[in-house]
Amino acid sequence: AQSVAQPEDQVNVAEGNPLTVKCTYSVSGNPYLFWYVQYPNRGLQFLLKYITGDNLVKGSYGFEAEFNKSQTSFHLKKPSALVSDSALYFCAVRGNNNDMRFGAGTRLTVKP
């Protein structure tokens, strides 16, 4: 069965600095990878996905993610963090039978 690991519970960055939220995955077959964001008292919102093609995927709110097959990673990045980016971020992988597995989440805090 597929699985996802988010090795950092918490990431702290200063506003204006670049940010990276890490994710590694395990899946048999082609990986379908997703990032979601969860703001307080709100449901999960889709940010971006990798299905095939370019390893650098661009998504909502200026986020992007880099797919690395050899390292089985799909790290989320943003060149310049905003205070409003502070939230809980989840990486997810979908297997060939369409089921989804989520990571435990990484809390991003952007300080002014």
Q: How many CA atoms lie within 13 A of 60 on its CB side?
A: 10
Residue with tokens 């979908």: 94
Asked whether position 42 contacts other proteins by CB under 8 A, the answer is: yes
Piece of 15-23, 45-53, 70-78, 79-87 that binds other proteins (CB under 8 A): 45-53
Asked whether position 83 contacts other proteins by CB under 8 A, the answer is: no
Round to whole Å and give the CA distance between 92 and 112: 29
Asked whether position 104 contacts other proteins by CB under 8 A, the answer is: yes
Q: First and final CA of the chain: distance in angstroms?
A: 41
Chain residues that interact with other proteins, rule: CB under 8 A: 4, 6, 32, 34, 36, 42-46, 49, 51, 90, 94, 96-105
